């Protein structure tokens, strides 16, 4: 009698496994997930002695299977919602050439109504973008494309640049700046909306706008250019590591972190920074004379 009692849980588990095999025989493999969930639910309501609870009958059962089922369902729902929210652009409508946020004067987003194009500029302005397949494109080329598409639409009467950016790379910023000027040439009004930060490159692109709206606490300005170069010579010397560059020209490895920078190289880079700064300053003077 004691031996049978000790093997009872194993016999019950074996019976459950046989029942699952019978249920899965001859069924579509794509339905396996549903069968597993059903089996988990049945395990949660099965009594320790192997007797199943009939529909409509309440008996206390082992809570482990029930809570495992709830955790599984919650995980599946959260995963599906996460993928949906990542792929679904918020407050966007299809245009003839692509997608961009469009806000009308009324409550509806009917394609026949006039309105404004709302374009967000977030983070560092550059060509770098996330490698995730679920990430929304947000690099400089994408922002320029949205401005270009909005400028072509007759129903778009104005463009709002919603900026929250500490700056970016020179060429990427200038690309967006040029697209704003071209949109204005086509008769579009452009408003720059400053959020927490609109500094350096974020401030640069706003200079092409007709109007700037900022909060009292917005951090803005930083009209300037910076270039930085690290140096790991001291660290490499302690580790016994050396790097030997083979170049095709005297300044090919300018800015290298594996050797000290020469005075001539510093002068070249300083000239580049000064020239870029003059371009920035000219944009500020043209936009805010």
Identified catalytic residue from 101, 144, 165, 200? 200
DSSP for 215-268, written as a single string: -TT-EEE-----------HHHHHHHT-------SSTTTTTT-TTSPPPHHHHHH
End-to-end CA distance of the chain: 99
Residue 173 and residue 35: Cα distance in Å, rounded?
A: 55
Per DSSP, 29 falls in state G
List 18, 252, 266, 285, catalytic entry: 252
- Answer yes or no: 238 catalytic: no
Whether residue 252 lies in the annotated active site = yes
Integer Cα distance of 279 and 271 in angstroms: 13
Structure tokens at 137: 């494109």
CB 168 within 8 Å of CB 140: yes
**What is residue 134's DSSP assignment?**
T
Q: Which are the catalytic amino acids? A: 200, 252
């Amino acid at each position: 009698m004691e031996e049978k009692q000790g093997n009872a849980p194993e016999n019950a588990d074996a019976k459950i496994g046989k029942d699952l095999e019978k249920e899965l025989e001859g069924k579509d493999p794509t339905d396996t997930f549903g069968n597993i969930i059903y089996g988990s639910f049945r395990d949660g309501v099965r009594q320790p002695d192997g007797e199943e609870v009939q529909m409509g009958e309440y008996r206390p059962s082992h809570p482990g299977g029930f809570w495992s089922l709830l955790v599984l369902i919650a995980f599946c729902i959260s995963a599906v919602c996460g993928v949906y929210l990542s792929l679904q652009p918020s407050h966007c409508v299809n245009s003839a050439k692509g997608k961009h946020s469009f806000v009308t004067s009324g409550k509806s987003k009917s394609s026949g109504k006039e309105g404004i194009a709302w374009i967000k500029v977030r983070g560092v302005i550059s060509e770098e973008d996330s490698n995730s397949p679920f990430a929304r494109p947000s690099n400089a080329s994408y922002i320029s494309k949205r401005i270009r598409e909005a400028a072509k639409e007759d129903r778009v009467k104005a463009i709002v640049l919603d900026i929250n950016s500490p700056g970016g790379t020179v060429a990427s910023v200038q690309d967006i700046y040029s697209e704003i000027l071209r949109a204005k040439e086509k008769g579009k009004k452009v408003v720059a909306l400053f959020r927490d930060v609109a500094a350096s490159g974020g401030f640069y692109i706003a200079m092409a706008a007709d109007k700037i709206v900022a909060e009292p606490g917005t951090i803005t300005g930083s009209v300037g250019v910076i270039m930085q170069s690290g140096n790991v010579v001291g660290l490499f010397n302690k580790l016994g590591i050396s790097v030997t560059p083979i170049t095709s020209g005297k300044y090919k490895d300018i800015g290298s972190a594996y050797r000290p920078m020469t005075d001539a190289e510093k002068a070249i880079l300083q000239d580049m920074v000064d020239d870029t700064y003059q371009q920035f300053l000219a944009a500020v003077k043209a936009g805010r004379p």
